[in-house]
A and B are shown apart, each in its own frame.
Chain A
Amino acid sequence: DGGITQSPKYLFRKEGQNVTLSCEQNLNHDAMYWYRQDPGQGLRLIYYSQIVNDFQKGDIAEGYSVSREKKESFPLTVTSAQKNPTAFYLCASSRTGTAYGYTFGSGTRLTVV
């Protein structure tokens, strides 16, 4: 079955550590996205990418970094510069074009301990 996989489901980070969240899709989608969601809140865009080796900052990119070395993969690194990283992180992918919606992964819950 085609889909988008995020791992791990739960992640614990000590203060001062970098952590990387994985996002892989086998839908042959060109575009991929990372969102942050705080409890009971909406989605905030961190980074997005339309093609390999190219990505753009979203609304809250500070303290995060991404790479897009393969079409299928769009990992997100939460750096030590992100002062409040505890949140639910969602990855999504889509075909390009206005008629298409997004397919979301099941999310990674990151907690700073």
Chain B
Amino acid sequence: EDQVTQSPEALRLQEGESSSLNCSYTVSGLRGLFWYRQDPGKGPEFLFTLYSAGEEKEKERLKATLTKKESFLHITAPKPEDSATYLCAVLNYKLSFGAGTTVTVRA
């Protein structure tokens, strides 16, 4: 069965303090690794898709990278509006989600 483990569970950052979130995975046939952002009471919002080891994607202050066993989401100089839960998911025939990392950025 596909397994996705995210760490840490929670991350409290000062505005401007860069950090990284980890997603380690075990999947029988990886068709893609996805990062989503989820705000409280809302649906997951798509951020990135990564398909192969070595691939990187960037969007504003976020950068996602992929190796054969894990993915990282780097947040550079975060702002309070980056506060959210960040979800990692792997695609086989379905998306299997990790439990998420809840990021809180203080001004």
A and B found bound together? no
A contacts, CB < 8 Å to B: none
B contacts, CB < 8 Å to A: none
